[in-house]
Structures are given as C-alpha cells and as structure tokens.
Structure 1
Amino acid sequence: MMTMRRGLAAALILVALVCVKAQGGNNPCVREDAQKSCSACISTASECGWCLVEDYEKPRCDKIQNHARPDGCDPSAITSPQDSLYLEENVKVRDGELPEDAVQLQPQRVKIKIRPNKPVRIPITFRQAENYPVDLYYLMDLSNSMEDDKTKLAELGNLIAERMSAITKNFRLGFGSFVDKVVMPYVSTVPRKLKVPCRTSNGDPCEAPYGFKNHLSLDLDTSQFAQQVMSASVSGNLDAPEGGFDAIMQAVACENEIGWRSVSRRMMVFSTDAGFHYAGDGKLGGIVKPNDGHCHMSNNLYTESSNQDYPSVSQVTSKLKEKSVSIIFAVTKDQFSIYEKLAKVIESSTTGELANDSANIVDLIEDNYNKITSFVQLKSENVGKNISVKFFSRCFGEDEAETDTCEKLKIGQNVTFSAEVTVTQCPKDRKSWKQELSIYPAGLAERLFLELDIICECECENADNEIPNSPKCFDGNGTYECGVCSCNPGRYGENCECDSSEVSSKESDKKCLGNSTVPCSGRGQCVCGKCVCNPGYGELYCQCDNQACDYTEFGICGGSERGVCNCGVCECNPGYEGDTCSCRKGNSSCVGSNGMECSGHGKCSCNQCFCDAQYMGPTCDDCPACPGKCEENKACVQCAAFDSGPLTEEQCNRDCRKDLIHIQSELPNRPGIRKCQFKDDDDCLFSFTYQYMPNGEVDIVVQRTKSCPESVNVLAIVGGVVGGIVAVGLALLLIWKLLTFIHDRREFAKFENERQHAKWDTGGNPIYKQATSTFTNPTYSGKQG
C-alpha cells in the first residue's frame, strides 16, 4: 500500500488510540498494519471487524463492539467472518467382537473453517474398548547367553497366551529372534565358526549366526508359539552389543511378513541381556550404506543385514510411531538403565526388569501391557508451522487442565478431551489456506483427521466483488474493494489521488511547513500538500502533542469522561477540575453520616476523602475499633448467599447489590479487609469480609461453608454413663476381691508359721493309767530247768 494510504490510516487510528488509552486497555485492531485491507484486519484478532461504508472517517478495522456504537459503522456494513465446525465422520466409541466394529476415538473426521488468532475447540472422546484386537510380537535375543531364557520362554508360552486372552478375546502372538550382522568384528568369520559359532550347555552345536529371523508370524493359534521357541536354536557372536535395532526395524517395517493387522493394538516385547548397535557402528565392519528403513525379508530372513548400517535411534523411533507399535523392553538388571533412557524417547514404550532366566516374563508382559493401556496420550501430527494444537481434559476430576494425558483408565471407560486449534497467521501461499492435520492416541493407529479451511480473505475481496479501475479511485487509478481503493502502481492516497512522482516536489513540501523548518513538524508525513500526522499529534502541521498531558489511573487527563488533551494541556469536561481533570467539583461525596466533612477524620480533596490513620471508607467513618459495616451488610449476605435472614427475596433483589457479593471457598487475607462473623437462622456461624473499592463501594466476599456446632449424641452419652457406672462397680468389686484374697493369704501364712513353731508339754498325766500291768517274781532267778 502506498505512503499516503498509510498516512491516512495512521490519522484515522489516532481517535481510536486515544479512546483505548483512556480505557486503560489495548486494541490490536487499530494498528496500522490492520488497516491495510479487510484480510489484514480479520487476521489481526478474533474481535476485529471491517467497515464497508464508503468515506468512513474512523478506523475501518476496529473491535466489533466499537463499530456497533451509535456513531460507528452501519451494522449491515460490518464484515467479520466467523468460524464453523462440521463433524463429517462421527461414529460413537464402542466395544466390538470384530476388529472393524471397535471404535476407540470419536470423532473421526472434522471440517473446520477457522479464523486466524481465534482458537477453535473440538470435543474428543476416547474409550479403552473391550476385546480390542492385540497383536503381540515377541522379539528375542538368541545369542548363546540367552539359552536358559529361551528354554523358560518356551515353557511359559502357553501361559502368556492364557493371560493375554483373559484381557482380550482377539489376541495374536508371534515370535522372532536376532543375533548380529554376519561380518567381522561382530561375529567370527572363520569358516568353521560361521557354521558352528558355539556349543550349548548340552554340548549341541549352535545355529549359524544371522541378523534377524521371523520364526512365527502373528497368529491366533498361540499354541504354535511354544513349539517355535523350543525349536529355535541359539547362536553366537563376538562383541557384547547385539543387532537389536536391525530386528526392530524389520519387524515393524515388514507388516505383511509379520502379519500386523491394520486395526489392532500393536505391541512388541524386546528381550535381551545386552546393549545395542546403532547408526555408525556398521563402519567397523566396512558397512557404510545407511539403513533405508524399508522391509528386506526373504524366506523369513533379513537379507540386507550385511549391506546396510544399523538404524539410528531416531529412525527406530520414527518407524515405531509411523506404524503405531508400542514396545516393551524386557531386559536384565545390568541393562535396565540403558533401555529405560531409550524408552523415554520412544513413544508409548516401557521398560521392565527381566529375571536371569526370564521366569518373570509373563508377569512382566501383563504388568507393562496394563501400564501402557491404562493411560491415553493424545498426539498431533502434520501440524503446520503457523498452527498450534493444545489439549485440555478433566480426566476423572472436576477441574479442567491443559493436558494431553489421562491415567488410570479402565477397559470400557470413556474419557473426554478438548483439542484447541489456533492459526497464528495466514500462510503467504494461498494453497496453504487449506490444510489437514491429525490427532491420534499414542500407540494406536486410529486417527482424527482435521480439515482446516483458514479464513484469510473477506468475501468482499473476492474477484467477483472487486471493481477494477473504479471511478471512485481518482479517475480509475485503483480497484475499489471492501469500501476502499487499492491503488494502481505509481498512485497512492485515500482515493489514489496522489501521483508518486510528485511526492518530493518543493511545492508539496512547502504547503506542509507552517512555522517549522521541517514538513509537518517532523511528526507526520506530507501527502499531496497536506500533513497526515502520526498517532498522538494534531493540528494543521502536527505541531500539537495530544499525548503530552499527565496520566492518571483512569487514563490521560483522567480519561475521556473527565477531559481531553489538547496540545499538552488538559481541557476538563463539566464537573471536573485540576491539572489532570481528576478532581470532581464540590464536596458532596465527602460528607459523612454525622454531617461533617469526612466525618471529622480526614480531609476532602477533589471531592474525595483522604482519611487519617486508622480510618477508612468513602467518608472516613470506619476504623478497626468502630462498629463498621458488618451489621449493615449482614442481612444482604444472608439472603444473597444462604437464602436466610429477615429479608424476603423481593427485598433482597431490591435493596442488596448482589453483584458486589462474591461467594468463595476461602476468605481473602489482605490489608484493608474487615472480617465479620454472625450466627445464622440454623445456629451456624457464617463469615464474610468487606473492603472499600476506589469508587467508594463495598466489595463483599462470603465464605461458602458455615461453621455449625456438632449435634449432641444422646445415645452415646447415656451409653457412656451406664458403661462408666458398670465399669466403676466392676472395679470396686475387683478391688474388694483382691483385698480379701490378700487378707486370707496373710492369715494362712500366719497360721502355718505358728504351727511349725509350737512346743507341746511332755509331762505325765496324773489321771492317765496304762492298759497293761507288769509284775516281778522275786524268787525267779532267770534260769531255766
């Protein structure tokens, strides 16, 4: 656009800029670049609209609400294209017995007409479908160190199928193995070593080395898995790292050979006890050709193993993402940290620690499968550089947050997202005004396709609505479109009236000098002999600075309602005074309820009270020790927040400012806030705070919950008393019994002691007479005859 048109646009913007600054805001629609054309206007911001009225003196591009003012643009002449959203394919999420019946992502295809800088939200539903098809390919390192793992895997093959079949009825299982490239220094190329690189623990010869072999394509007959694992032989190589990346690339790229289904959750278990070779390592064996990422399989063997280098980490990551394959790294403890770092850069992958003989492989697969499927992460792809996509969800909570992931998802459970698409600017290439991008759940092949039709042009700019060489454009020197002239080369000005060859003529500059030695006082442009002032300057030669006045919190010169800036001086509107027009005339707003100015606790300036220390309020009638406004606001708080109190609903709507009463979970704690607390009709305490705003009104915040006294539990009290009495009685009985027992023990001990120490009298009894009598014969000599 030519110089004069830019200058005229700048002049038109001046009025809008003054209004915007007076409101303390920012209006992007009145920028100079937005005034160039209708397409530039609608690309600036979502609230911008273009006025089609001929000879419109205000900015043609402005906020729609500004255009709609009584002195603005004719409503029928305002153009502001609106976005639209059409669900072209919207099959509801559902479970399914057959693969083609299950739907996990809704909708599937959406057409959007989208305007730059205006976000559009698309609701998305994800469901973890029951019996969704699962393809599990077990890729195993069959170097000699994994011999015992192979044996254990064969034993557990049926158990793997049984566990996975309990999760989904539609389960297929496959098996493949890898060793390394058959070149030095990875394997020994000695002829006998190429045939028999090692011996097994039983003394049997190992199989010849190979890169990757597909033993069993994905099959519903899972009983074959154990047979194939058992029949597979281990092999041997020289270095520690293995050719796992070659195997992953072929197992993913060769969809037909492996048997991946188009509708399924594709999963791969990668089992090894060693590290991996990656891009560049092939040079050690003289292999310099980069890996092309394509399928090279013949008779279930990787044919380009010795001709192409190993794939890079980014190639493997990209191929797994492209084919929607989730990978579980089942590795031994010493390799866990390496593969854990690798899993962080591969989408929808996890790492599990493998036992020395793989005995825990069944639990490892099941646990990591649940880990992968228990959360959903939405991704976007093919997003242009001028487009951004954000995701929002409540998951299973109450508050919406910006997130692309939801966890703890169960089978058969729905979760809702919102995808917010924003076009930041219109592409320069017209062909890029139509774009297609997609949104997908990580690890799944289902896609939501978004067809974007970017609104980069107003309808009035279509070729059918243009008037080339219009007489409205100064004798046909331009094309009339959207109410303005688009000038032909060499012409400029609002109506293309200026000839570019006369821009620097002395006569033109002389008309713009005035009392200055510089055209337009150096504050504008001289266009066709007239000054077009820069925003903020005015008068004939731009000599006045209409932005040099002082600013207040309401804007320059107190805002448009109080005054305007004219050549650096504030001209106040009626009812206002002062250098910045910030003072209201009179003191009517300062008189307190006691009839005194500022209630005797402050000074009135600009019809506003400036209170002494400790006093506050519009008329300085409130203080920490004063009754304040608690009682005054009590009734309104009760009716507005709790539907209680003395006021009826009609009285509440009539006498209370409900727009100033806000209900929150917690009360604010800031300087200048007064807290109030009262008992409500239900004997519960309710609390609220109030604070004076700059305009003198009272802002009230009410705590949502009340503090209620706990109800008396009569049964508990009676039960407690009875229980206490019983307990005391039992205690007293126990004490009596204990004392009695102690007394008896003491008496018995005393008796025993006395009995043991008793001394009986041994003297004769005078009345005692023995039962027998003894007589002696004096003549008996004691001899026998």
Structure 2
Amino acid sequence: MDLSNSMRDDKDKLSSLGNLLAESMQKITSNFRLGFGSFVDKVVMPYVSVVPKNLIEPCSKCEAPYGFQNVMSLSTNTSRFAEEVKMAAVSGNLDAPEGGFDAIMQAIVCRDQIGWRQRARRLLVFSTDAGFHYAGDGKLGGIVKPNDGNCHLDRNGSYTHSTLQDYPSIGQINQKVKQNSINLIFAVTSEQLSVYQRLQKHIEGSSAGQLSADSANVVDLVKDQYNKITSSVEFKDNASDKLKVTYFSKCLQGNGPLLETSKCDGLKVGTEVGFEAEIEVKSCPTNKSEWNQIFQIYPVGINESLTVNLEMICDCPCENEGGIGYEEKAKECSSSGTYQCGVCKCDPGRFGLKCECDENTSQKHGGVGCRPDNTTKIDCSGRGQCMCDLCVCDPRSPPEKIEGTYCECDNFSCDRENGLLCSGEGHGECKCGRCVCNAGWTGAACGCRSSVDTCIPPGGGEVCSGKGVCECGACKCKTEEEGRYSGRYCEKCPTCPGRCMELKHCIQCQVYKSGPLTEEDCAANCTSFVPVIVDVVEVDESKDENLCTYFDKDDCRYTYVYTYDEKGKLVVRAQKELECPPQVYVLGIVFGVIGAIVLIGLAILLLWKLLTTIHDRREFAKFEKERKMAKWDTVRKKKLFLFNLHSAILFFDLFYKYLDISSIPKYDFVNLSVICSLCLPIYVSLFLMT
C-alpha cells in the first residue's frame, strides 16, 4: 500500500477492514493468509526532500520517508493485521509518481520473507492514488545501476537497495510475475484507473479495479478478482516466433467437440478440464543452433509448467528405423534409449536429456541435489530445470550463459559503464555476476585505472599537487580555507591571479599591431612566448587551458588562451581576426530618411490632385444635367399656360351664352356635357401645375 500523506485516510479505513477481508475470503477458501507492506519512494532528490528536518518529518504528523517496508508477513492472525496497518508510518515525498515498482519487485521475489507458500494462489494487491516510477527514472536521482531483480530485505523487512539501484522495468515485473505465479491486482483511484488498465495489458495475469475515496471497497475488489482468477484457467507459452502453439479444449462441454481455445471460464472447485496443445514449426531458422529450442507451456497464475524441449528436423529424415542418425540403445542415451535425430527417446522408467535419470532413484532424492541448502525452496536458483537431481541451466543466446552447480552464476548481470559490461573488453570480465578486473583497472565496473601516474603533474611532484586525491585516474581536488583548488592536477590556487592581464598588451602588439606598446617596446618586453595564431580559439579542457577575452579602444574583442606544455613552457594561442561591431553609416541613414519623407510628400500631393480632379468633373457633370432639366421645364410651363388660357376663354364664352340657367332646356344634356368638357382641361392643367 502507498503510505504517502495523501493515503492517510485510506490506511485508517484499511485497518478496520482486516477482519472483514478475512471473513469474506474464508467463505471462499479455508486456508487464507494475509500480509501487509507499505512504500513511499527512494530517499534521494528529487523524489524526497533531503533537507535534514524534512528527512525527520516531511509533513505534519509524518514519519521519516522510506522505500519499501514489509510490515507483516503472510499470517492467519487478522487482528494483528489490523493493528500493524493502524500503526504503519505515513510519510511524504515531493513528486507525484511513487516507488511502487520497487515494492512490487521485493514483494514478489522475497518469497521467504513475505511468506509465499509453494502450493497456493498468490494475490498481490497494489493500492495507490498516484502513478509509478519505472526503469530509467532513477537517473534523475543519480542512480544508474539497473535493478537486479533479487531480494534485498533486511531482518526488519526494509528494502536496503532503494538508493543503490534503479526502479524495475515493466518487463522485469512481468517476468517475475510469471516466474513466481503471482496474480497482481491494481486497486487504484478513478484518476489513475486508465493508466493501470493499460499497464495490466503488459503484466500477465494482472487486473485493475477502481478504489473508492477511502478504500472502503477493497474487500469487494479482492473478492471479485479472486473469483475471476479461480473460476477460469488460461494456458500460455513462451515459444519463439518460429513456432505456433494452438490449444484445444472441451472446457465444461464433456461430450462436445474440441474447440480452439486457450481459456475455460465458469469453473468450480473439483471441476476437471482437459487441454490439448498442437505445436507447429512454421519455418526453420537459418541459424542451425536455433533448431533446438526449449519453451514452457503453463497455466496463468499457477506455479506449474510443462517444459518442451524441441529439436526441429529441418535437414534429414532420421525419425524412422534404418535412417541416418537413428540408433537404438545408443551410448549417447546412456544405453537406455533410442537416439533419433540427435535426441534421445528414453526407454520406460528413464528420463533426462541423455536418459541418464532413473525414475525410481530420482523420486527417492526428491530434487535435493538442485538446492544449495535446506533454507531455499527454489530449484536451480529459478534459472534452470532439475533433472536427475542435477541442474540443467536455462539456455541463453551466445555469448550470454548461465552456469554453476545450482545455476547461480551468469556472465551478463555485472555492473556496466557507458553501456559496456565491465567497461568493455580489455578492462575486465563478468564472472558469476561480478566484474573481475584486468591488471591496471579497478572499480565495480573495472572503469577506473589503478595507477596514479595520470594524477602526477608533467614536471613531477606530488599526486594531484598535494591538493587532492586520485580517483579513477583523475584528480578530485580538495576544498581548503582559501577555497577549492582546481585544474587537471589541482594546481590552480583559488586566490592566485591568472596571467590574462599580464599577457594582454603583448597579444595586442604581436598579433593585432595595436595597444599601448610600441614596436620597440613589444620586441623588448614580449619575449617569453610566441603566440600561435588560429582562426577560432576553442578551449581544450584536457590540456587545462585558460580562456582570456578583452576589448580594445575601438570596442573590438580579441580572444586568446594560455597553458603550459609538459616542460612547463608557456603556450599561447590567439584568434587571428578581431571581432569588431559592424559600422553604422550615419550620413546614409540621414539622406535615406530625408528622401523617404520627400517621396511620401510627393505621393500625398499626387493623390490629393487626383481626388480633386475627380470631384470637379463630377460637379461639372451634375451642373450640366441640372441646366438641361431647367430649360425643358420653362418651355413646358409656357405651353401649359397658353393651353389653360385658351380653355378659360372658351369656358367664359359659353358660360356667358348660357348665363340664364332657366333658359336651358330641362333635358338638354348635350349642352351640359359641352360645358363640362370645357371645364375638364382647366382642372387637369391646375393639377399638373401643382
């Protein structure tokens, strides 16, 4: 369980769930054990604050930070579980990810300390509200040694190599989960669930579930995941890509046909299911050494496996009697089997690569010869197969190999430097997990010279000038009252001035023919060295060179370096050309500005003239149009007036004739219509004039 400060309330809740968890699991299995471990992170920067007071109390009411602690090994004492969880120390760290992978690795491989049993379902519940560090992150804290995948718990259950080796990789976790048949359950908060769901795809037999805010549902998570694990069986293998392994089973359909499947679900205690595996060689490897392959077929989460030792027959028909390579009772098979195509087919009661093992004799010994002592229950260090009370180590791709009486040694897990095993050829050799250095080399990875000759100044004297120590062929300077000494041989005094100022004027007159010294003064005073002129001055730190840079009266920079050769003679290299600032042409800028102002003014005048001309032409066109319209209206009005006048005269003339209305005939409609017709033009003309 993650016991950083953010998980404080979860810890309190989990301590009260111990008995409930035990009761729930005892309903499923009568043989149930419970244990508890906690983790925070590596106690180095930047994961944990290393300020002295924070190393004691990183947060309020917090204990000192730690990597991983096996608080309680697997036990049936659930009341002690509740007490241990309640008393477990909550601590704090700096970054968001935690050191959970260190905890998972130790909880898996430390079988004796954790209390894993040989014949048991093994569930590892991983509870956190944060992400995880993995292989490579240790470099941030200066930890570059890869994780070795071994157990490093002391007597108190504390992880001792937290600050000595990197976090495990996802591949290492997956490998150890498969080797130890661990079912890993990630019980995480909703914010982290998607991350761990992706992680479970890369770790065999693992699952992920959402943890409530106070971890109250951890009992249900464990129970559900256990039911899923125990109610199904799934077969997998580690065969190479040259092989194809196909699985068939009837599962719970006793009389049904065989179906192509590697998994059966819905199983109960006592249910028996059978599987058949078909192994097909898809193609023969070009390398004949790969024609012999060993792989395992195993059920996920169960500590059992079937080892298949396969020899591909790619070039000769030697299976049948009489063929080349077929011999019965062959010496290669201890005279107890048939030699077929380079492989022994043992007689009944015999087994082993060379039929050297007798079934009855091996059963009496029980495989004791494959373990170094009675304290371990792992045969052949977990890296080989016990055959006839002898360890046959797992094969590796050359030049890697596993060897030893109990497969305890290898030639590939030693320390590395710059990615090279034991610093590469010529430095040392990896033997049984440790670097054996050649003459003249030392160190864990044989990367350091054992001689101190490279730490002695060229002119002789003390090692590192008496101001430092020689480590790995280089001087590590001391810090004294006047400051820290520096230089390749710690020859530079921190309070002593350099020679840059002393050489300044000589460089000016010798290289650039400038400065306060005349030609005669330069020839007389600058005789201790002759500068080497180069295009570009670069400091060579391996030669312990000193860089000097100055500016002359014209603000031009000149650069040079000085050092001393093996005989103590001054050597100076100076840059060929001065680095002067670019010249500024003030007169050109002034004329340019004036010319730009004049051009802009002319452009504005031309634009104003164009707009004025366009406006004048529009006004003149408008005036012409209005003048023509006014002339037409005058003629029209004159014509209308004459028409109206003529109509009026006719009207009054008729009116005068018919002035006596009574003299008009009563039904003389003709005359009335004539009068009205004369009135109509008057009304029309008045309407048009308005």
> Shorter-normalised TM-score: what interval?
0.3 to 0.5
Q: Which has the higher helix share?
A: 2
Larger Rg, first or second structure (1 or 2): 2
Q: Which has the higher contact order (CA 8 A, sep 6+)?
A: 1
